[in-house]
């Protein structure tokens, strides 16, 4: 079989869907490469910051690593802004959805909500509510997200910081995406 015969999904057979699964399955192995490609695309313009978004991402992951974070959290710190080029207004949510099948519920939530928590450090300068994150007060992952932004994310714009290179983090990214999706505690489907 070179292709399925149906033109409406409802008309497909078990054999056809098993065929399609075999065709699609190898592309899952390219996920780490695709995600790393999104990360590298952050290299370039600084938009007025002292470093570009790529270096910011490496620096955030380096700080998480040196602070003793587990590998999954370090990878989340590395990838937290990969959605910037595709969805600047909701990059956290986009990145979190990419990571969701592979990470804990806590890391998913932190990545999804880090932009509003990051706003605490600068939104008041733009006449926005710097305390917008307070609407999540009492959430079980509130403190983790506040800590992520305070200790790693908002700190990571220093051109003189001794940042670890991507070659160190790449195997971690590959291990994360080599996991069987939806098998980690807290990654159950909704």
Cα–Cα dist 168/151, whole Å:
21
Per-residue pLDDT of the chain (190 residues; tens, 9 = 90+): 899 999 999 999 999 999 888 888 777 779 999 999 999 999 999 999 999 999 999 999 999 999 999 999 999 999 999 999 999 999 999 999 999 999 999 999 999 999 999 999 999 999 999 999 999 999 999 999 999 999 999 999 999 999 999 999 999 999 999 988 877 666 554 4
Residue ranges per structural domain of the chain: 30-178
Cα–Cα dist 163/89, whole Å:
27
Tokens of 170: 């790449």
Tokens of 60: 């955030």
Report phi then psi at 186, rounded to 5: 85, 5
For the 30-178 domain, the top CATH level (class) is mainly alpha
> What is the 8-class DSSP label of residue 114?
H
**What's the pLDDT score for residue 190?**
47
3-state secondary structure (DSSP) of residue 162: coil
**What's the pLDDT score for residue 1?**
85
Cα–Cα dist 122/18, whole Å:
51
**What's the pLDDT score for residue 185?**
60
């Amino acid at each position: 079989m070179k292709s399925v015969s149906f033109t409406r999904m409802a008309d497909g057979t078990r054999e056809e869907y098993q065929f399609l699964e075999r065709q699609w399955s190898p592309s899952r192995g390219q996920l780490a490469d695709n995600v790393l490609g999104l990360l590298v695309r952050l290299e370039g313009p600084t938009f007025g910051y002292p470093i570009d978004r790529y270096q910011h991402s490496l620096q955030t992951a380096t700080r998480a690593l040196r602070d003793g974070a587990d590998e999954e959290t370090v990878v989340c710190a590395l990838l937290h802004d990969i959605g910037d080029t595709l969805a600047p207004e909701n990059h956290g949510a986009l990145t979190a959805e990419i990571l969701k099948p592979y990470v804990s519920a806590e890391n998913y939530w932190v990545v999804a909500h880090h932009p509003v928590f990051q706003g605490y450090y600068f939104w008041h300068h733009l006449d926005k509510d710097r305390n917008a994150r307070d609407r999540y007060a009492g959430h079980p992952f509130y403190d983790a997200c506040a800590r992520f932004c305070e200790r790693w994310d908002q700190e990571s714009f220093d051109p003189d910081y001794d940042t670890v290179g991507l070659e160190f983090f790449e195997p971690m990214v590959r291990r994360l995406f080599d996991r069987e999706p939806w098998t980690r505690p807290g990654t159950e489907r909704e």
